[in-house]
Amino acid sequence: MQLILALFLVQFNIDNKHVFYPQPARAESTHSYNVLHYLIELDLPMNSRYLEGAVTVAARSNEDNLGLIDLHLLGLTVDSVKVDGVATTYTHTGETLLVDLPQPQSVGDSFNVVIGYSGTGSGSMGYLWYSSLHPISYTLGCPFCTKRWVPCYDYMGDKADYGVEFYITVPDTFTVCANGAYLGKDVAGGVATYHWKHDYPISPYLIHFAASTFTTYSDWYYPAGDSIEIMYYFWPQDSAHAPTAFQYTTDMLYFYDSLYGEYPFEKYGMAILYPFYYAGMEHQTLSSIYRPGFLGNDYNLMAHEMSHMWWGDMVTCFGWVNVWLNEGFATYSDARYWERQHGHQSFINLMISRRNDYFAAEASHPRPLYDPTLEDLFGWGHDYCKASWVLHMIRYLCTDDSTWLALMATYRDSFEYGMASTDDLNNIMNQVLADNYDWFFDEWVYDMGYPFYDIVWTTAYEAPHWRLVLDITQTQAIGPSVFHMPLPLGVDFASGDTILTLPITESPQHFEFVLAQEPTDLTVDPETWIIQKNNVTASTQEYGAHDVTVDHISTVDRVITVRLSAPAKIRVYDITGRKVHEANTAQLHYTPSTAGIYHVLIGDESRRVVVIR
């Protein structure tokens, strides 16, 4: 076609077309070359899944004498390949496209590879659709399926440093949206060519476009000294509902700005897609939202996908072995926005619900967060729910929100527009909190399971104080034998409550606390910070009872007198079994209101005494 022949002449000029956002070394390509930019040109008839296209891959050599590069394309046909304008040979087998470079490249040399291709996209895998409800074509490259619609180096770790640009031609009754900024369209001969450009580093799986009979409108977000357009795309019959569905978008942006720093890209938008078998997808600058979620006002979903712009897109997990970073941050972020809307207790209820989802997943299929199998990838209970709880627990270890936000800011500043791993977050945490938290990641990310605390407690009165005695044993069947997470313990008194923080170092572990008031009840993790289960038992064996001997017990002048070798809980019961007196003491002097037979219980030992008028 004429379009493709003309587009083959486009060359990518690194020097003057794009702003460079430097990436950390971990984000740079580790193969023989580094992708700098993708220029994608497509012709979509929109009456089938057929497409014709060309992609210009701008790259830089990472080694001397580079004579061959590998790209990926699956299910489509390569029609031609040129390198720096010169036709070259290639081999396309399965998903691998090997391109011969006519001139060997040295380290640091830049070159352009232009690939013409065509074919019918894969609807069964969901990476190029045609719907009879409304004609719609869109891409879904996650986790590694961008190669199903465009030749690329389909590894998330090789971000295109200078971004991506699109020229997409469709019948002029259709609208196209894509990553980045909208630069206009050319309309002629019944077709329209849409131009989109995104100037930030981007992983292949986040490259995206959607084309349909969309209606669109815009809103605006105004960070300090700037303005960012928010663009919405949806079908005409949903126009009346759109203002309701999108009413909180700007508030979400301001909220995440306050937590994580300014929105990191030049535009934000949402495209409503159907059919769509994910609930949502965080395509960079343009979230995909499935239509039932849009019609159901699923603000949690919209907040989740938006937060990915910071955590997943700007800072991308270093390989799917670290997927918990992407999904944990977004899941915790949508819970925080839920808290903003509905209050703290609703946030806690949501976190408890998600903790229960993790418990169910772990019961049926226990596994670590790190390095899930392909079958386990994107598992709700682990990669979303447990992962969000790991971040919740890190926030607890920060002890206050100012430290938590400082940790997030340091993490962002260290890896923005690049990649980050579990070890990277671990190192940032060690740095910001000035301590070693390797144990935390070993137990909660690299290992499986969660603690089950079996807690036995008792008290004793030691005038003028009370002694609280705890014995804690961890009884979990899988995972570490000891989780070292500091354990918050709520202690209730008649006049209020307090929280004790227990440093957990072993199992079993013994604690004693001297308190000003008598403890009446205990609650494990009263503020809901930890993934855990527990069983709490108030011991019937009074503290020190096994060491107590009865030195004297008598009734003289209607006074029950007890002297013990050490303090213990003493209970007095009448003949009907009603408790009439209780004290923690080594010496008891009690005068019943009436004469009769009384039982004195000291620990497990009972004595009968008779009070005579």
Structure tokens at 284: 């960079």
Q: Per the annotation, does 365 bind a ligand? A: no
Asked whether 184 and 443 are in contact (CB, 8 A), the reply is no
Out of 274, 299, 384, 590, the active site residue is 384
Q: Which tokens belong to 181?
A: 């900024």
165 annotated as belonging to a binding site for a ligand: no
At 511, which helix (H) or strand (E)? Answer: strand 509-515
Report which residue type is found at 580.
V
**Residue 233 among the catalytic residues:** no
Q: Minimal CA–CA distance to 326: which of 203, 410, 451, 440?
A: 203
Q: Taking a C-beta distance cutoff of 8 angstroms, is the pair 321, 371 a contact?
A: yes
Two structure tokens written together for 285: 């600058």
Rounded to whole angstroms, what are the CA distances from 606 to 564, 599, 603?
A: 14, 6, 8
The secondary structure of residue 48, as a DSSP letter, is S
Instruction: Report the SS3 class of residue 514.
Output: strand
Query: Is 484 annotated in some ligand binding site?
Result: no
- What strands, in cross-sheet order, belong to the sheet with 175-178? 136-138, 209-212, 175-178
Please, what is the angle between helix 401-415 and helix 249-260, to 10°? 90
Tell me, yes or no, if 332 is annotated catalytic.
Answer: no
Extended beta strands in 316-464, E state: 316-317, 419-420, 452-462
Sheet with 50-61, edge to edge strand ranges: 86-87, 77-83, 110-120, 50-61, 33-43, 164-171, 191-198, 181-188
Q: CB count, 10 Å around CB of 188?
A: 8
Q: How far is it, in rounded angstroms, from Cα 425 to Cα 407?
A: 9
Contact 595/557 with Cβ under 8 angstroms?
no
- Catalytic, out of 52, 165, 282, 305: 305
Classify residue 548 as exposed, middle or buried by CB count within 10 Å of its CB (0-12, 13-18, 19+): buried
In DSSP terms, which residues pair with 286 in a beta bridge?
Answer: 269
Please state the separation of Cα 62 from the chain's center in Å.
Answer: 33
Find the distance separating the first CA and the last CA of the chain, reported in whole Å: 117
Binding residues: 304, 308, 327
Q: What amino acid positions are annotated as catalytic residues?
A: 305, 384
Query: Residues at the annotated binding site for Zn(2+)?
Result: 304, 308, 327
